[in-house]
Amino acid sequence: MTYQFRKIISLFFIISITIFSLVVSYNEDNIDNLAYVVALGIDVSENNNLKLTFQLSTSQDSGSEGGSSSQSDTSTLTTIEAASIDSGINLLNSYLSKKVNMSHCKVLVFSEELASRGISREVFTLMNDIEVRPTSNVIICRCNAEYFLKSSKPVLEKLSARYYEIAPSSSEYTGYTENITLGMFFDALNDDTRECSAILGGVNNGEIKASNATIPNSERDSSYKANETSITNATNIENMGLAVFSGDKIVGELNGIETICHLIITNKMEKCNITIANPFDEDNIMDLGLTARKKPKINVELINGTPYISLDVFLDATIYSIDQDANLLDNENIKIIEKYANSYMSDQLYRYLYRTSKVLKSDISGFGKYVTKDFLVLKDWKEYNWLANYQNSFFDVNVDINVQSGHLLMST
C-alpha cells in the first residue's frame, strides 16, 4: 500500500465520520424538532399526583414584532397530571408533535400547597436532569402554579423566556426578593449549616389587602409580599419577598423589608430603598437609598450551648426625598438622619432575626457556618444539630449607616 493511497483512505474516513456525525445531529436534536419549555409549574392535583404545567415557547416567539405581547401569542400552556416530572414529560412527548426540551427552562414554579408537603423529590429529580439548568429560578407561588403561569403576561418584553430571565434580577436594585436558582436551593437543601429560601411569587389583581391598611405609611411600601402590592394594572405575576423553608417544607414568608434584611446579612444586597419617618417632620417620610459599605461582620459564639449571634452592619445611604427647607450640608442634620436610619434598620434587623429564629425556626441566613469552627470533628457537629438549636439564638445587632448626601440638591 503506497503512502499516497493510505493518505486518501485516511482522508476518506475522516470526511465520512464528520459528515455522518453532522447528519445525525441534524436529524435528532434540531431546533425544528424540539419544543422548548420556558417555565414549568408544579402543583398538587386532586388525586394527590403532580399537576405539571408546561409553558412552551411557540414559533411566533421569535417572529413577533412590535408592542407588548400577551401570554397567548408568545407561548402556550399545557397541563398534565402525572405521578412524577419525568412521566409527565413522557406523556407530553406522546401528545406533542415535537420532543420536549427543558434546556431553556428559566423558571420552576412550585405551588405553596406542594411546598408545604415538601419538594425535595422534585428538586433532586430536576437537578438530576441534564437538560434543566441549575441557574433556573425557583419560585414558590401563593396561588396554584397553573394560574401563576396563565397570568404571566410580559409587559415590556416580547419573549417569555427573556421576561423570566430578567424579572428576578430586579432584586439587584429593589432588594425586595433574591435571585434564587435551583442550584442554590439544592445546595441549601443539602447543607446542615443553613435552610433554604425561594422567591415568593403571586398574581396581582390590583386589590389592596385590608391587612396593609393598618401599617404606618412609612413602612407600608416595604411590608408587601407577592400579590399584595398596590400596583393597579391588568392581572399579572409579581415576585416580592421570600419563601422560608425548614428542610424541604415551606414554613413562612418574608415581606419586602424582611427580604432586604436577609440580603444585608447574607451580603447579597446591592442596592435598595427604605422609607423612614422624617426626623425633622414626624408627619412626613424620608426615602434613603442603601448600599453595602463593607461585608457585615458576623460572630457566633456558643454560650452553654446557646448561640449568641453578634452582627455588625455597615451601610452607606443616599437621601432621595428632600423637602423645601432641607439642609443636607449641615453636619448636625446628617447626624440626626443617621441616628434615625440606624435605629430603623436595627429594629428591622432584630425583627427579622427573631422572626426567623423564634417564629419560623429556620436559619436561612446561614449563621451555622460561623459555628462550625468551634467543632473539631463532623460527628460532634452533627450531634449538636445547629438547625434545631438556631431557635434558641440571641442576637446583638449594631448598625452603622453613613449618610453621604442628597443626590443633586443639598440645601434648599
Partner 1 sequence: MNGNAVFRTNLIVIPIALIGLLVSFLCVIPKISLYKIFPILGNGLNETFFSGITNIYAFCGISYIYFLMPLLKDKNDFSKISYIGFAISSIYLLLAIASVLLSLSDAYVIEEISDMYLLIRSVEFGRFFQRPDALFFFIWVLSLMAYVTTILFLITFIFKKISNTSDRTPMIYAFAIILFVASLLPANMAQVRFLDNVIAKYVVITIIFIFVPIILILANLKYKKINLNNSTKGEISNDLSI
Cβ closest to partner 1, residue 135 vs residue 284: 135
Cell reading at 258: 424582611
Task: Kindly state the DSSP code that residue 359 receives in the 8-state scheme.
Answer: I
Nearer to partner 1, 137 or 151 (CB): 137
Q: Among 84, 310, 372, 389, which residue interacts with partner 1 (rule: CB under 8 A)?
A: 372
Nearest to 367 by CA among 254, 259, 265, 245: 265
Looking at 229-237, 285-293, 373-381, 390-398, which segment touches partner 1 (CB under 8 A)? 373-381
Q: Binder to partner 1 among 147, 350, 381, 395 (CB under 8 A)?
A: 381
Q: In what order do the strands lie in the sheet with 394-406?
A: 272-277, 285-303, 306-319, 394-406
Binding flag, residue 268, partner 1 (CB under 8 A): no
Question: Residue 266 or residue 318: which is nearer to partner 1 going by CB?
Answer: 266
Residue 395 makes contact with partner 1 by CB under 8 A: no
Q: Given the rule CB under 8 A, which of 180-188, 231-239, 269-277, 329-337 is the region that contacts partner 1? A: 180-188
* Residue choice 183, 279, 289, 406 for contact with partner 1 (CB under 8 A): 183
Among 181, 239, 255, 348, binds partner 1 (CB under 8 A): 181
- The answer to whether residue 373 forms part of the interface with partner 1 (CB under 8 A) is yes
Using rule CB under 8 A, residue 134 touches partner 1: yes
Stretch that binds partner 1, among 23-31, 278-286, 320-328, 367-375 (CB under 8 A): 367-375
Closest to 309 (Cα-Cα) out of 188, 400, 392, 253:
392
The stretch near partner 1 (CB under 8 A) out of 9-17, 344-352, 378-386, 401-409 is 378-386
Quick one: which of 139, 348, 357, 99 has its CA closest to 240? Answer: 139
Is residue 376 part of the contact set for partner 1 (CB under 8 A)? yes
Residues in CB range of 244: below 8 A, 6 or more apart = 195, 197, 250, 251, 252, 253, 254, 356, 360, 362, 364
φ and ψ of 46, to 5 deg: -65, -30
Q: Give the one residue of 16, 190, 230, 392 binding partner 1; rule: CB under 8 A.
A: 190
CB of 40 to partner 1, least distance (A): 18
Please report whether residue 135 would count as binding partner 1 according to CB under 8 A: yes
Residue 18 in the binding site for partner 1 (CB under 8 A): no
* Closest alpha carbon to 35 in 57, 7, 3, 5: 57
Element (H, E) at 81: strand 75-82
Which of these segments, 79-87, 127-135, 207-215, 402-410, binds partner 1 (CB under 8 A)? 127-135
Phi, psi of 95 (to 5 degrees): -90, -40
Between CA 225 and CA 259 the distance in angstroms is 10
- What distance in Å separates the CA atoms of residue 406 and residue 21, rounded to the nearest whole number? 63
- Binding to partner 1 by residue 186, rule CB under 8 A? yes
- Which of 98, 99, 133, 361 contacts partner 1 by CB under 8 A? 133
Give the nearest distance from C-beta 403 to partner 1 in angstroms: 29
Q: How far is the CB of 378 from partner 1 (least distance, A)?
A: 5
The grid coordinates of residue 401 equal: 449607616
Which CB sits closer to partner 1, 303 or 377?
Answer: 377
The cell for 285 is 417620610
Burial of 215 (0-12, 13-18, 19+ CB in 10 A): middle
Is 216 one of the binding residues for partner 1 (CB under 8 A)?
Answer: no
Residue with smaller CB distance to partner 1, 187 or 400: 187
179 touches partner 1 by CB under 8 A: no
Of the candidate residues 113, 129, 191, 400, the single one contacting partner 1 (CB under 8 A)? 191
Backbone region of residue 267 per phi and psi (left: phi > 0; alpha: psi in -120 to 50; beta: other values): left
Burial of residue 337 (CB within 10 Å: 0-12, 13-18, 19+) is: buried
Establish if 370 lies at the interface with partner 1 (CB under 8 A). yes
Give residues in contact with partner 1 (CB under 8 A): 133-135, 165, 181, 183, 186-191, 193, 369-370, 372-373, 375-381
